[in-house]
Amino acid sequence: MTRVIVVTGGGTGIGKAIAARFAADGDQVLITGRRAGVLEKTAEEIGGTALAADLSDPAEVARVRAALAERFGVIDVLVNNAGGNIERHGGSGGVAERWTSNFRANVLTAVLPTEAFRDLLNPSGRIVFITSIAAFRGSGGTSYGPMKAALHPYVFDLAAALGPRGITVNAVAPGLVEDTEFFGDTLSEERRAALVTQTHTGRAGTPGDIAETVHWLASSGSGHVTAQIIQVNGGAERGR
């Protein structure tokens, strides 16, 4: 049965891999994010639909909700993938400005769509958040880790609230994932080697690793799995 899948931050990297995985099943996939050109290119590649919006803006989220309601009526899976470390990519200003920027990029872009779309979810629907190993281990002094960690209790509360409707709510916490824009050109070979050494699998993650986990969490086989934070980082959270 064809489902309606919404993936935020679906234009590149992990979000693109997730969107492509569902599209390969024949599902109707809508990807959203800030960059219209990137989204449209990905949508054409995977056979999905693109809708550009700043998901940290309540008015923009309301516009997306209206479009979803008009086009699909209901949705089956919401994947909150949008985010990134603003401080790593040129974030400036004082502490308040830097923390607020990462709050908008990582918390509001997940919470606002979830609250706006939750009544559109079908019974037995699925919500999956993409958080980070940094929520457990810290993020080198930036506000990124704390912002991702803020989503974990939200997952727990939301799972309790939506469970009676048959809706599950979980999160996936990746570690180092290559072929994404997260690090840009800031990751040195020495730092990459150190991060890989921390894994038990001896390799960096791929967007496909995360996509397969999300795909399973959205399947009927995971119907009794909710309020969980699934770490997909090769055991790196345990370190060596």
Which of 62, 69, 39 lies closest to 115 in space, CA to CA? 62
- Distance between CA 182 and CA 200 in Å, rounded? 22
Cβ-proximal residues to 171 (8 Å cutoff; 6+ apart), any chain: 128, 129, 130, 131, 151, 152, 155, 228, 229, 230
The catalytic residue among 99, 117, 144, 182 is 144
Is 144 one of the catalytic residues? yes
Torsion, Cα 66 79 218 13, to 10 degrees, reads: 130
Tell me which residue of 137, 74, 142 sits closest to 106, measured CA to CA.
142
What are the percentages of helix, strand and coil residues in the chain, rounded to 5? 50, 20, 35
Alpha-carbon Rg for the chain in angstroms: 17
The Cα–Cα gap between 147 and 100 comes to 10
Contacting residues for 13 by C-beta, under 8 A, at least 6 apart: 177, 179, 180, 181, 182, 207
Scored b (16 or more CB within 10 A) or e, 116-149 reads: bbbebbbeebbbbbbbbbbbbbebeebbbbbbbb
Active site residues: 144
